[in-house]
Structure 1
Amino acid sequence: MLFALLCKDKPDHLNVRMEARPAHVEHLNKLSAEGVLKMAGPFLDAEGKPCGSLVIIHADTIEAAKALADSDPYTKAGLFESVDIKPFNWVFNNPEA
């Protein structure tokens, strides 16, 4: 099953994002190689600066999706104000369909 992780950065935490970014990218590359990560990228504010993230992952349960979200270096660094996890049905332009 696919899950969307909708992550909102804490205000004025761009420095936290940038400091944790190398570990975050390494983490996502590992998940991608394992077939868990389907897509990911930042949300941008009006100035074009990252202010959150959208991550689409494959997990068996919402609990497993939460565990993956909790293991992200951004989460561990305290970047996110909130992380909403929602089941996701990739209907259009899904390369695996």
Structure 2
Amino acid sequence: MLFAVICADKPAHLNLRMETRPTHLEWLNGLNAAGTLKIGGPFLDADGKPCGSMLLIAADDMEGAKAIAAQDPYAKAGLFANVEIKPYNWVFNNPEA
């Protein structure tokens, strides 16, 4: 099952994001290699700077998706003001369909 993980950064935390980014990318590379990560990237503010994240991940159920999201180095560092996880149905342009 697919889940969208939608994260909003805390205001004025760009430095924390940039400091944590190498560890975050390493974690994402692991998810990608395992086939868990389908899509990922940052949301951008009006100035084009990252201000949140969106991941599309595969998990068995909501609890599994929450467990994966909790391992994000950004989440562990306290970057996010909030995280929303929603079941997702990838209908168009899904390369696995």
Structure 2 length normalisation: TM-score? 0.99
Q: Distance in 2 between matches of 1:66 and 1:33?
A: 19
Q: Distance in 2 between matches of 1:73 and 1:34?
A: 17
Structure 1 counterpart of 2:49: 49
Structure 2 counterpart of 1:93: 93
Query: Superposed, which structure 2 residues align to 1:24-63 within 5 Å?
Result: 24-63=24-63
Letter in 1 for 2:85: I
The answer to whether residue 65 in structure 2 is matched with residue 65 in structure 1 is yes
Structure 1 residue ranges (4+ consecutive) displaced by more than 3 angstroms after TM superposition? none
Structure 1 counterpart of 2:82: 82
Structure 1 length normalisation: TM-score? 0.99
Letter in 1 for 2:30: K
CA RMSD of aligned residues (A): 0.4
Equivalenced residues, count: 97
Q: C-alpha deviations, 1:12-31, integer Å up to 9, x for none? A: 00001000000000000000
Q: Distance in 2 between matches of 1:67 and 1:20?
A: 19
Q: Distance in 1 between matches of 2:63 and 2:76?
A: 17
Q: Percent identity?
A: 68
SS of aligned partner of 2:92: coil
Stretches of structure 1 lacking an aligned partner (at least 5 in a row): none
